Amino acid sequence: MERAAAPDCGAIGSLGFDSLGAPDEALVERLCEMAAALRAPERLQRTPAQVRGYFEACRARMRPNPFHNWNHAADVAQFAFLLLHRTGLDRCLCDEQVLGLFFGAVGHDMDHRGKSNAYEINEKTELALRHKGAAPLEAHHTELALAALAESELLDGLPAERAELTRSVVRDVIDATDMGQHTEILRECKAAFRALEELPRTFFSVSPFGGDEPARLLLKLLIKGADISNPSRPAAVAERWNERCYEEFYAEGDADRAKQRKLNPLHDRDENVIPRSSVGFIGFVVTPLFKELRKFLRAAAKMEGGEALDAAVAAEILQGLEANKQLHAERAAALAAVPASPPKAASDDAPSPLEDPCVEDEMAVVITLVAAEPVPEPKPEAGAETEAEAEPEQPEERAGEEPAVEAAAGDALGAPPDEAAPRPTEPSTNTQ
């Protein structure tokens, strides 16, 4: 059958895959290719057209945001595919894990509105009110992804138990994209994978479900990695995603400013310095996650059933992250130079940009913003709030992921955090 030529967005197994600028339908086509490589139709007892139906249903519910759009959904799904396929995990994990992760990735941001959970909660949007007690965006995306699964009848060829298992993976992985859980998930992974030899021998050999938490954690690590993978792409691709991310952030900052809310510093177009916050994000958020994945893959390759695993792609990802971090660090250092001073001649003993204490300080700020977060309320009455009573900064979200939603411990002005606001978090201390 004649088919339109695929756009030049790169091979489906490549880190250079570039979904930006590709027509929506072309991305559906590429997702179908990935599904075929994962043997999704066979595993689900569905036709390729039925599998395509799920992608179409997801696409139909994406909004044209600068960042959280259909291109992002395809980008994250491709990275999840890459992590599954090039590591060999797609041949070790069970069908429900592989397919739940991949199809969950496609639907993980359905109907995203381009604003963070914090914004939704502060605005008391219909979404926030409907999903009180949860991260509203992730709850909404999950609901829609499950509806798309049902609408496309994607799981209808499976026995009820296996279909439910697949849905449970979809729920888990979409929930894990809430950045409010970032620190906790990474900590749990480190603990669970610390002694891989103690993991159940069935980890790879049979369905690892039925209480095997390490297997669930691995899936969360994979989806999270895919969701914040932009800075590991080649610089030309990573840059465009970064620009879009901040375009969306700054629009939220502008909206908060208009409502006289305190801005998350990363959303403040007047104050934020993108190269600096990018260095911090890559160094303190993304890199530790992929180091953990590399550690897991290397160790798991020695486990029964994991012999075919290959950690090479994790090393390639880490190289990409380092290259882009260095690029941002050099820019940050250039921006930090005082214009009135004559430029210093480069010398061997000059500190590298990454050793610049100013850049290090910024990193610490960024990681705190990404991982910790109270939800401020606008001042109800002028003069009623003292400096000491002021709420801390607002939660944050970053490149591809939703902000952490945190409950303020209680507002001195009688505006307690909504029950909608949520799980306690703590600032990340990742420094590896």
User: Contact residues for Zn ion (CB under 5 A)?
Assistant: 109, 227, 400
| Cα 291 from Cα 30, distance rounded (Å) | 28
- Closer residue to Zn ion (CB): 109 or 356: 109
> Would you state the structure tokens that stand for residue 368, as one six-digit string?
């705190």
| Cα 291 from Cα 232, distance rounded (Å) | 13
- Closer residue to Zn ion (CB): 109 or 393: 109
The residue type of 84 is L
> Would you state the structure tokens that stand for residue 431, as one six-digit string?
């420094």
- Closer residue to Zn ion (CB): 109 or 391: 109
Q: How far is the CB of 395 from Zn ion (least distance, A)?
A: 16
Q: How far is the CB of 286 from Zn ion (least distance, A)?
A: 13
| Cα 93 from Cα 204, distance rounded (Å) | 6
| Cα 222 from Cα 228, distance rounded (Å) | 10
- Closer residue to Zn ion (CB): 46 or 61: 61
φ, ψ dihedrals at 99, nearest 5°? -75, -40
- Closer residue to Zn ion (CB): 46 or 68: 68
DSSP assignment of 277-323 equals: HHHHHIIIIIHHHHHHHHHHHHHHTTSTT-TT---HHHHHHHHHHHH
Q: How far is the CB of 72 from Zn ion (least distance, A)?
A: 6
Side-chain-side CA neighbours of 343 within 13 Å: the count stands at 7
- Closer residue to Zn ion (CB): 223 or 309: 223
Q: How far is the CB of 109 from Zn ion (least distance, A)?
A: 4
Q: How far is the CB of 108 from Zn ion (least distance, A)?
A: 6
Please, which residues bridge with residue 273 across strands?
Answer: none
Q: How far is the CB of 412 from Zn ion (least distance, A)?
A: 34
Contact 141, 62 (CB under 8 A): no
